[in-house]
Amino acid sequence: MAQVTVTIDGKTYRMACDEGQEDHLIDLAERFDRYVGHLKDSFGEIGDQRLTVMAGIMVMDEFVELQKRVKGMEAEIGTLRKTRDDALTKADKNDAALTGALTGLAERMETLAGRLAGQAA
């Protein structure tokens, strides 16, 4: 298990993570530190725990909004897939009708060709 040191609100924390996830954990800590810094700039010194809780709530708010967007996109994808499938089904029916018409036309042409061949003989 790997270990990294991250800094949040000027304080360092040693954290463990899976091998290969060090840069990701450092990036997450830096992003969280920006939330804490933004709150500290807005509200001043209101206590570490309160800043951390407020930053956590801000992160969760963004997370919930992103979840809503993903659900909306998934619904849109579902609608697009249904539209595509309906169009393909309609095209298949049209293809079947066209195939039937062409088969009928080919049969008529063979019948006429047979008649013409019989008349020529």
Q: Domain segments of the chain: what residues?
A: 2-120
Helix or strand holding residue 20 (H, E): none
**Per-residue pLDDT tens digits for 65-110:** 999 999 999 999 999 999 988 888 887 888 888 888 888 888 888 8
Look at phi and psi of residue 54 and say left if phi exceeds 0, alpha if psi is from -120 to 50, else beta.
Answer: alpha
Summarised one tens digit per residue, pLDDT across range 21-75 is 999 999 999 999 999 999 999 988 888 899 999 999 999 999 999 999 999 999 9
- Reduce the DSSP state of residue 21 to 3 states and report it: coil
Residue 57 carries which DSSP code? H
User: What pTM was estimated for this model as a whole?
Assistant: 0.61
Distances (CA, A) of 60 to 25, 57, 106: 17, 5, 67
